[in-house]
Chain A
Amino acid sequence: MAVKTRESMPTKLYTLYDMDENERVYTYRQWQSLIGTKSDFVYSYIIAGAAKSRPNLSYEQKATSSRKLLLDRERTLWKPIIIRYVETIPVQEIVEEVDESAVAAPPIEIVYENQKLVEALLGNEGKVVLEKVISLIEDSVRRDNWPLTKVVVHYVKDFEVDDWQYALVVLLFNSDLDNAEGYLRDFYNKLDILTERFSDQEQGILERLLYFDVGTNISEA
C-alpha cells in the first residue's frame, strides 16, 4: 500500500478535512517512521499540511470550527491530526504541534557493497547515471516523505549467465513489504519521467547496468 494521497484516501476523511494538494495522509506507522514517536493508537490517519508553496493559504479559513489547524503565514508548519476510529467512525481528534525540525527528512544513507567493483562496472558515465537516480530517490524522500532508511548498492554477477554483471540498487524502507512495493512502483513512474531527459548513452547504461529492488526492516507477521 502506497502513501495515501487525496485520490486514494477514504472519501469520508477527505470530505471531513477538505484537503488540498499540499496535504498528505499517512498511516500511523508511516508517520511514526518520520517523527520517531510511539503511540498506543492501533490504527489512525494523520494529516500533515505543508504549505510552503502556498504561503497565503490559511487552513483556518476553510476549516470546520473544530479544526484548529495550521498555519503561520511566514513558515511551513507541520501539525498532525491524529484521528482515532471506532470501526469506520472518527470519534476523537488530537492536534499536536511538532517541531519542524523533527519532521525534516533524515539524511539518506547510501551503502556500497563492493564499491570498487560497482564503480569499475559503471564507469564515469554510469556513476553520473547512478547519482541522478539517487538524487531522484532523495527528492522523493523529501517531497513524498518516503520512509526510506537506506539505499544499498550491490555488485552482482549472475551465476548462470557468463559475464552478466550489474549493479542492484536496493531501497530499504521502514515499512511492510506491501508498502515497499508501492513505493517501488512510484519510483518506477518517477524514473520513467526522469529518463525522458536522458541521453541515449545514459538510457543504455540504465537498461544494461542498473536494476532495482526493495527491502524492509519491519518483520512480516
Chain B
Amino acid sequence: MSEPIYPKLNPTTYLELADELSSRSEPSAKRTAADRAYFSAFLFSRDRLLEKGYVTPYGDERDHQYINEALKRRDILGSFGSQGLRLRRARNVVTYKTGNISTITQQYAHPLNWMLETAREIIKRVDELPTKPRKT
C-alpha cells in the first residue's frame, strides 16, 4: 500500500492551528484561522456524530447542510445548533471577501476570537453527547 499523500486528520488540530495563526498579524493568517475554525467544528461534528450513531453523512459538500441541520436536532444541540450556521456565515465573509471587513459593513462578520470560541463550544458540546443506542 502506498503512503498517503495526506495522512489522516484529526479535525480539532485545525482549531489548534487556528489558535496559533490568530496571534499572527498577517491578514492571511487571521483569515485562514477563521476558515479553519469553521472547518474544525464542522468536520469534528460530522465525524463524531457519525461515530456516535446520530448521522450518516454523504462525505461531500452536501454535509454542510446536513450537519448544520442535524446540530439543531433536539437530541443533538437543540437551538444552540444554530451557532454552526452563524460560524459558517462568518467564515464565508472572511473567506470570500478580500476587502476590509468590519461588523458594521458586513452584518454576519464576527471577530476571530468569537469564531474560535464558537468552534470550541460546538466541539465541546458535540463531544459530550452520549453514544446513541442502536435500534434493535
Contact = CB atoms under 8 A, between A and B. Distances in A.
Given A177-B103, A212-B82, A164 B65 contact: yes
A67 to B, nearest CB: 39
A219 interface: yes
A169 B70 CA distance: 18
A203 B74 contact: yes
Interface residues of B, number: 22
B79 A188 contact: yes
B78 A192 contact: yes
A192 B79 contact: yes
B64 A206 contact: no
Interface string A199-216: 000010011100111010
Contacts, number: 52
Interface residues of A, number: 26
B107 A215 contact: yes
Interface in A155-198: 158-162, 164, 166, 170, 177, 185, 187-189, 191-192, 195
Contact of B108 (A177, A213, A219): A213
Contacts of B62: 161-162
B44 to A, nearest CB: 19
A220 interface: yes
Contacts of B89: 213
A215 B61 CA distance: 28
Contacts of A215: 107
B86 interface: yes
A55 B108 CA distance: 45
A160 B69 CA distance: 16
A158 B96 CA distance: 13
Given A213-B89, A220-B103, A188 B64 contact: no
B85 interface: yes
A207 B73 contact: yes
B79 A211 contact: no
A188 B78 contact: yes
Contact of A195 (B64, B65, B79, B82): B79
Nearest to A163: B65
A211 B85 contact: yes
A188 B65 contact: no
Given A177-B103, A188-B82, A215-B107, A206 B65 contact: no
Contacts of B74: 192, 195, 203
Interface of B: 61-62, 64-65, 68-70, 72-74, 78-80, 82, 85-86, 89, 92, 103-104, 107-108
23 contacts: A158-B64, A159-B92, A160-B64, A161-B61, A161-B62, A161-B65, A162-B62, A185-B80, A187-B79, A188-B79, A189-B79, A191-B78, A192-B74, A192-B78, A195-B78, A195-B79, A203-B74, A206-B72, A211-B82, A211-B85, A212-B79, A213-B108, A215-B107
Given A158-B65, A213-B89, 16 more contacts: A160-B64, A160-B92, A162-B62, A164-B64, A177-B103, A185-B80, A188-B78, A188-B82, A189-B79, A192-B78, A192-B79, A203-B74, A207-B69, A207-B72, A211-B82, A215-B107
